[in-house]
Amino acid sequence: MISVKSTAGISRWYPVYTHPRSEKKAFEALVKKGIEAYLPLQRQLKQWSDRKKWVEEPFIKSYLFVRIKEHEQTEVLMTKGIARFLYFSGRIASMPDRQIKELKMLIASPYEMEITEDNLQAGEQIMIKSGPLRGLKGEILAYRSQKTLALRLENLGYSIIVHVSASLIGRFNIESR
């Protein structure tokens, strides 16, 4: 006899996509409904024209995580600020508890972190998109971290280490030089 194990009664972590800049309000609404939720926040120094201030910003923009049973998915979707669940291979994606624990450990660590969707590789041609080095073109020699890229900049003939945020660089085709 074949036994089919039901997962309907098991709570799992699910990544949830929120409306832009609605992560904190959606998180509060979920908690108010009694739904276990996790919103990874990172302290950042923000600068306005007249002042600087430390603020807590979502670590992953437009995402938060909920721990629910399958039958509670509709309740999550009916929460203000929630756009949709993430899908993988046609099914709602879930995450193991271990990954959430690891994310919590990372967020709690004293290390400065930055998240990027770019998968930067050595040998790629890049151009700095903003900041004081804007417009400089180069090649990634080594990718040590989000903040430390070893770049060979054109026309200098030297390799220099530039501490630049990965979000400030963009790829370009060799043909577009």
Q: Which of 18-22, 39-43, 90-94, 124-128 has the lowest mean pLDDT?
A: 124-128
Query: How many other CB atoms are there within 10 angstroms of residue 13's CB atom?
Result: 22
Residue 5 in tokens: 């194990």
Cα–Cα–Cα angle for 145, 40, 148, nearest 5°?
Answer: 10
Q: How far apart are the first and last CA of the chain?
A: 66
Are the beta carbons of 173 and 125 closer than 8 angstroms? yes
Report pLDDT digits (tens) over 63-104: 999 999 999 999 999 999 999 999 988 999 998 898 888 888
Task: Specify the pLDDT at position 24.
Answer: 97
Domains of the chain: 12-108 (3.30.70.940), 125-176 (2.30.30)
Total residues found in the chain within this entry: 177
Residue 173 in tokens: 């085709």
Q: Look up the pTM and report it.
A: 0.67
Residue 7 vs residue 129, higher pLDDT? 129
